[in-house]
Amino acid sequence: MNVSMTINGEAVSREVEARTLLVHFIREDLDLTGTKIGCDTSQCGACTIHVNGKIAKACTLLAAQADGADITTIEGLAENGEHHPMQTAFWENHGLQCGYCTPGMIMASAAFVRDNPGASEDDIRHYLEGNICRCTGYHNIVKAVKQVADAAAGGA
Amino acid sequence: MALRSMVGANIKRKEDPGLINGAGKYVGDIKLPGMAHVAFLRSPYAHADILGIDRAAAESRQGVHAVITGADLQDKWETVPVAGGRKARANYSHYAISAERVRHVGEIVAAVIAESAEIAADALDEIVVDYAELPAAADLLTAYAGAAPPIFAGLDSNIVDTGEKKSDDVDAVFENAPHTLRQRMHSQRVAGVPMEVRAVLAAPDAVTGGLTLWTSTQIPHGVRSALAEALRLPENTLRVIAPNVGGGFGVKNQLYPEEMALAKLAQLHNKPMRWSGTRAEHFISTTHGRSQIADVEVAFDDEGRILGLRLHVIGELGAYPPFYDIAHLTGLMATGNYDIPAVHFKASNVFTNTVAVAAYRGAGRPEAIYYIERAIDLVAGELDIDPANVRRRNYIQPDQFPYKTPTGSTYDTGEYEKNLDTALRAADYHTLRTEQAQRRADDAGSLLGIGMATYVEMCGFGPYESGVVRVEPSGTVTVYTGTSPHGQGLQTTFAQVVADEIGADYDDIVVRHGDTSSQPVGVGTFGSRSLAVGGSAIVRASKVVREKAIKIAAHMLEAAPGDIEFADGEYRVKGVPGSSLSLSQIAKRAYSERLPDDIDTGLEGTDFFRPPDFIYPFGTHIAVVEIERETGLISLRDYFSVDDCGPRISPLLVAGQIHGGLAQGIGQALLEQVIYDEQGQLLTGTMMDYTMPRADDFPHFSLDQTVTETTLNPLGAKGIGEAATIGSTPAVVNAVMDALRPLGLRHIDMPLTPRRIWEAMQSA
């Protein structure tokens, strides 16, 4: 079947099998491998992307379900060559080690802070339940997200 | 960036710009032209004979290139490397695709090569294997007791490797001691669970007749050597690349059957091929950790001085363990930070029909520290002495180093009491105890527990590590290391070291790793060794560069080499301030025709560091927990970690290692457990069933440090990768048991889930 969508501002159209998961479509058909796969059961959040501005785990959707959608992946988060503030905050706060959970973690956090400027540390820890990291103990991830949340509240 | 001293500076990682934008390439992200995909059929039984395999239907599917069984390859390769040397490999191993018998759920019995991963996976369903199921030795204690059949022919029992260390007077000590106590403890089976599942890509190399293998490993050099031997290929025709690797934690630390299979299949079919494992495959095929049962017995006096220790460790090996070392490492660290004069240590390693138990962050040392730190708290409870004081009374004193333990370790340096006091101050320990006393008196609110653990660990494994420091003609610097970082941030740390050692600009340094074709032979990244051993090799290689730069500078400045000094990042004539040369100026000359005859062209150094012995970092952790009386729900209120790993090159990265280590150690204490049923079926084979720690399981971690250098390497650095995992498990369990002490509860085995706590509270 044919699916068409906008990914990172670019219109794409491909023939896929009906069973193709969105995450496989993004990684294998479009070669956007920044979106990762860390489990088979939708726990880990490594494949988190934005679909029409909302976060989604790309392993829980078929490519066909995203037909016509506007999708942003980690590769499309920076604007005009400038890192998104969440990317910068992860770098500045040592919020990543092996980097494998990082794209999903950043995509989830960026959407969360956009919708929840000024979120508390507790809010952030609770929200990040859907994204698993094995390296950082979440400490510096939470710190990075809090930094952006504080800045967002300050600017509001 | 031209900080005069990069060492000790908090700087952002060099690694991150390529990771925060999704550009990082892990094995599963790499595609080669004409690449085929491999899927593995794995045994659903823990123990079975393979009577026959019907692959006709699978092979006839469109897009399937071939279905390969173990019988097809049996004479074409060696068995998978296992512990115990040549005899063990002949008798207690298997082929990477097993041919006759399987010994754990998840063992590979066939491989499908197809044009896509989906087609390969579909074809697996059409392979029919005729198995004759055998009784399984799935449970450690049952297997130890001899109540399960031996898993290999020719064995009388499943106990295959034992060890013992006994002080002459230990039995007399126990006989005459004022007090003794005994406790059985489990360090339960857990899984490493790096976020990147293992994956392998193999491609034939037409030039050498060998192969290039991209694999998610901690030891590319080790994989190359073992693979060459297993595939009967010359080592120099193999190139092993560990690209971005998404975490290791010890479980990517050996040659795996999938690496052998991909290499062999790519070679036979003369085609590049990739296998990207699923998480379900990972849980059943990647080694697990811990899984020990220990009988701990201590003899002590009225003041809580430990007079003797008996420790018998029953360690699980699973099937086909890559090494037997884990329980022996437990023995080497059995006495922890304490001066215990008489010890009897015994290890019994046991085969079971489960995936192998091998290295996992700490490997043997977390178990040892867990046992002794729990025992110290049991002694404190028995005598009603503050657990901090029992520790104080038993510590090895600073003037006793180097200290030889009764089980054969030689601790390098340590200052344990100072470290303990720093932690007690950080936690405001006495105020916490006052709060606890008040709460107990009121008999209201949640139960408050305060737990501590002091740890020491052995790390910095040899036998050597390699380093190359090359100043390019332009003056930029390329560093090659034989270590193989996968999140540790060594590109940053090693650049900091080299910047200071030779006067290079930090921003002009590139650190390369993880490719056997471009580096000197190396060992890898595990056992908290990378800075202490790998960093020391880099220091030595830098010294070669610096000495040559001084010679060239002397020539350029028309001075004697003895009159040149390297200071403030520059090379100059002593006492002549205007005479300085930068590394770039010297590099330009090093590759020019204007060098004198007695100086060779180029400006680079290669060197190795061979550590004379292990190094022993240490620390004290304090956990504060609250337990809901109605539900047994534990919340970790505060956590204090005071770690001593010697001088810190990259303080930000050291803190990151501690945070991650804490999460894994606390995860073992409270959440994580791998469970097999009595048939050897894995019940915790997905992230739905295996509890991974989440962000809201942890409080804000409070970190502090003491600094005690080692004398055994030029950086004075000890390891930090595993330390926090080791300290945190007993600190948290001690805190929970401290909370439950008024109920008369003495010990509960991990993981301390609300259910276990609630059940214990009901029975109290």
Q: Do A40 and B686 touch (CB under 8 A)?
A: yes
Tell me, yes or no, whether B453 and B465 share the same domain: no
B410-411/B199-204 β-pairing: unpaired
CATH level 3 topology of A2-76? Ubiquitin-like (UB roll) (3.10.20)
Quote the CA–CA distance of B475 and B472 in Å, as a whole number. Answer: 5
Tell me, yes or no, whether B653 and B579 share the same domain: no
Q: For chain B, which residues score pLDDT lower than 70?
A: 1-4
Query: Within 10 Å of residue B199's Cβ, how many Cβ atoms?
Result: 22
Quote the CA–CA distance of B734 and A43 in Å, as a whole number. Answer: 31
Q: Where are the domains of chain A?
A: 2-76, 85-155
Q: Which helix (H) or strand (E) holds A82?
A: none
- CB under 8 Å to B203, separation ≥6 — which residues? B32, B35, B211, B212, B213, B266, B272, B273
Nearest to B247 among A33, A39, A134 (CB): A134
**What is residue B731's predicted lDDT score, i.e. its pLDDT?**
98
Q: For chain A, which residues score pLDDT lower than 50?
A: none
Task: Using DSSP, state whether B61 is helix, strand or coil.
Answer: coil
Partners of residue B469 on adjacent β-strands = B479, B605
From B594, B609, B624, the end of a domain falls on B609
**What is residue B606's predicted lDDT score, i.e. its pLDDT?**
98
Residue B416 lies in a domain: yes
Residue B373 lies in a domain: no
Quote the CA–CA distance of A96 and A133 in Å, as a whole number. Answer: 9
Residue B562 burial by Cβ neighbours in a 10 Å radius (0-12, 13-18, 19+): exposed
**What is residue B4's predicted lDDT score, i.e. its pLDDT?**
61
Q: Do B660 and A135 touch (CB under 8 A)?
A: yes
User: Among residues A67, A69, A87, which one has the least CA distance to residue A77?
Assistant: A87
* Interface probe with B: pick from A97, A101, A109, A147, most Cβ of B within 10 Å: A97
Place of tokens 């003797």: B308
Q: Do A44 and B195 touch (CB under 8 A)?
A: yes
Tell me, yes or no, whether B568 and B643 share the same domain: no
Quote the CA–CA distance of B147 and B74 in Å, as a whole number. Answer: 32
Which residues in chain A have their CB less than 8 angstroms from residue B15's CB? 99
Residue B52 lies in a domain: yes
Main-chain phi, psi angles of B733, to 5 degrees? -65, -40
Tell me, yes or no, whether B238 and B105 share the same domain: yes
Q: Do A136 and B24 touch (CB under 8 A)?
A: no
Q: Would the ipTM clear 0.95, i.e. be above it?
A: yes
Q: Do B696 and A125 touch (CB under 8 A)?
A: yes
Q: Which two tokens stand for residue B667?
A: 């995860």
Quote the CA–CA distance of B126 and B129 in Å, as a whole number. Answer: 10
Cα–Cα distances (Å) from B112 to A40, B108, B383, B638, in that order, read 20, 11, 63, 51
- In B86-115, the residues whose Cβ lies within 8 Å of chain A are none
Tell me, yes or no, whether B719 and B636 share the same domain: yes
Residue B436 lies in a domain: yes
Residue B190 lies in a domain: no
Tell me if A107 sits within 8 A of A74, measured CB to CB.
Answer: yes
> Which CATH number fits the domain that encloses residue B597?
3.30.365.10
Q: Do A39 and B279 touch (CB under 8 A)?
A: yes
Tell me, yes or no, whether B470 and B560 share the same domain: yes
Give how far B761 is from chain A: nearest CA, Å.
28
Q: Do A134 and B16 touch (CB under 8 A)?
A: no
Quote the CA–CA distance of B20 and B24 in Å, as a whole number. Answer: 8
Residue B314 lies in a domain: no
Q: Which two tokens stand for residue B76?
A: 């074409």
Which letter, b or e, does each residue of B72-92 get, where b requires 16 or more Cβ atoms within 10 Å of its Cβ?
Answer: bbeeebbbbbbbbeeebbeeb
Q: Do A36 and B196 touch (CB under 8 A)?
A: yes
- CB under 8 Å to A77, separation ≥6 — which residues? A84, A86, A87, A106, A107, A110, B21
**What is residue A155's predicted lDDT score, i.e. its pLDDT?**
61
Which residues in chain B have their CB less than 8 angstroms from residue A131's CB? 695
Return the residue of A nearest to B654 by Cα.
A94
Q: In what order do the strands lie in the sheet with B509-512?
A: B509-512, B477-481, B465-471, B604-609
Cα–Cα distances (Å) from B110 to B263, B265, B321, in that order, read 15, 12, 21
Which residues in chain A have their CB less than 8 angstroms from residue B664's CB? 134, 137
* Interface probe with A: pick from B11, B13, B19, B729, most Cβ of A within 10 Å: B19
**What is residue B3's predicted lDDT score, i.e. its pLDDT?**
55
Tell me, yes or no, whether B425 and B415 share the same domain: yes
DSSP state of B707: -
- In B167-196, the residues whose Cβ lies within 8 Å of chain A are 193-196
Return the residue of B nearest to A106 by Cα.
B20
Tell me, yes or no, whether B520 and B619 share the same domain: no
User: Among residues B472, B537, B481, which one has the least CA distance to residue B505?
Assistant: B472
Place of tokens 């012995």: B613
Predicted confidence (pLDDT) per residue in B260-299, tens digit: 999 999 999 999 999 999 999 999 999 999 999 999 999 9
- In B638-677, the residues whose Cβ lies within 8 Å of chain A are 652-653, 655-656, 659-664
Nearest to B22 among A75, A91, A121 (CB): A75
Quote the CA–CA distance of B394 and B337 in Å, as a whole number. Answer: 8
A54-57/A48-51 β-pairing: antiparallel
Whether chain A has a CB inside 8 Å of the CB on B26: the answer is yes
Tell me, yes or no, whether B455 and B469 share the same domain: no
Q: Which two tokens stand for residue B644?
A: 């001593």
Q: Do B194 and A98 touch (CB under 8 A)?
A: yes
Which residues in chain A have their CB less than 8 angstroms from residue B663's CB? 134, 136-138
Tell me if B458 sits within 8 A of B429, measured CB to CB.
Answer: no
Quote the CA–CA distance of B429 and A150 in Å, as a whole number. Answer: 32
Q: Do B656 and A136 touch (CB under 8 A)?
A: yes
* Interface probe with B: pick from A100, A123, A127, A140, most Cβ of B within 10 Å: A100
Quote the CA–CA distance of B294 and B290 in Å, as a whole number. Answer: 11
Quote the CA–CA distance of B374 and B213 in Å, as a whole number. Answer: 45
Tell me, yes or no, whether B599 and B620 share the same domain: no
Tell me, yes or no, whether B652 and B553 share the same domain: no
Tell me if B28 sits within 8 A of A38, measured CB to CB.
Answer: no
Is the CATH number of domain A85-155 1.10.10.10? Answer: no
Nearest to A92 among B12, B28, B686 (CB): B12
Quote the CA–CA distance of B611 and B348 in Å, as a whole number. Answer: 29
Peptide bond into B402 cis (omega under 30): yes
Q: Do B660 and A102 touch (CB under 8 A)?
A: no
Terminal-to-terminal C-alpha distance of chain B: 62
From B579, B609, B639, the end of a domain falls on B609
Residues in chain A: 156
**Which domain range does residue B39 map to?**
31-134+195-247+252-285
Give how far A155 is from chain B: nearest CA, Å.
24
Domain count within chain B: 3
Terminal-to-terminal C-alpha distance of chain A: 45
Tell me, yes or no, whether B627 and B717 share the same domain: yes
Give how far B197 is from chain A: nearest CA, Å.
7
- In A76-135, the residues whose Cβ lies within 8 Å of chain B are 77-78, 83, 87, 90-92, 94, 96-103, 106, 121-122, 124-126, 128-129, 131-135
Return the residue of A nearest to B695 by Cα.
A125
Q: Do B279 and A121 touch (CB under 8 A)?
A: no
Q: Do A33 and B246 touch (CB under 8 A)?
A: no
Give a three-class secondary structure readout of B617-674: CEEEEEEEEEECCCCCCEEEEEEEEEEECCCCCCHHHHHHHHHHHHHHHHHHHHCCCC
Q: Which two tokens stand for residue B336?
A: 């922890």
> Which CATH number fits the domain that encloses residue B263?
3.90.1170.50
Return the residue of A nearest to B696 by Cα.
A125
Quote the CA–CA distance of B101 and B705 in Å, as a whole number. Answer: 52
From B557, B591, B609, the end of a domain falls on B609
Main-chain phi, psi angles of B297, to 5 degrees? -135, 130
Q: Do B489 and A97 touch (CB under 8 A)?
A: yes
- In A33-52, the residues whose Cβ lies within 8 Å of chain B are 33-41, 43-44, 46
